[in-house]
A = this chain, B = another copy of it.
Amino acid sequence: MASTPAERPKPLSPDEEALVRALGQVMHVLPRAIDGDMISDRQLPLTEYTALMNLSEAPDRRMRMHELAALCHLSLSGMTRTIIRLETQGLVKRERCEQDARGWNAVLTDAGFARLEESWPSHLAAVRRRFLQHFEGFDLAQLARAFRGAGTAN
């Protein structure tokens, strides 16, 4: 890709162009909007909500840092800092991993679970209103496959 000579490739069609621009807008607006909803509604930023949610679905409500980071689409260091923030709020605690003393488990506390229970309806409503609602009539499974493809491209 880096080495193609200066041939003039065919430009985007108007539909392609429009789609790319619209995607750019969505990628910019959507996370901020949902984050804003969560904050004004429950004082829980989207990143922290996502961490709590993924933990709650893990066996024994605990997970290794790198695993959680991957699920939250966060770098390992970003995950560390997020967990620290949650820890100071008492929503999560950290325990050394028994099988591997280098490793840590992030563990959802009861307070964290309660916080999640009180927050997920807001998140759900925001996701529906800001996103899903606009895709009624689409084949959602097909769409999801396409997105996953784009997200995994070499």
Residues of A within 8 A of B (CB): 1-2, 4, 6-9, 11-13, 15-16, 18-31, 33, 37, 40-41, 73, 118, 121-122, 124-127, 129-135, 138, 140-141, 143-153
Contact B146 A138 (CB under 8 A): yes
Contact A15 B144 (CB under 8 A): yes
A interface: dominant SS: helix
Contact partner of A22 (CB less than 8 A), chosen from B31, B122, B138, B144, is B144
Knowing A28-B73, A150-B134 are in contact, say whether A127-B9 is a contact too (CB < 8 A): no
CB contacts (< 8 Å) of A148 on chain B: these are: 22, 25
Contact B40 A131 (CB under 8 A): no
Q: State how many angstroms separate the Cβ of A149 from the closest Cβ of chain B.
A: 4
CB contacts (< 8 Å) of A153 on chain B: these are: 33, 129-130, 133-134
Contact A25 B147 (CB under 8 A): yes
Across the interface, name the chain B residue whose C-beta is closest to A41.
Answer: B2
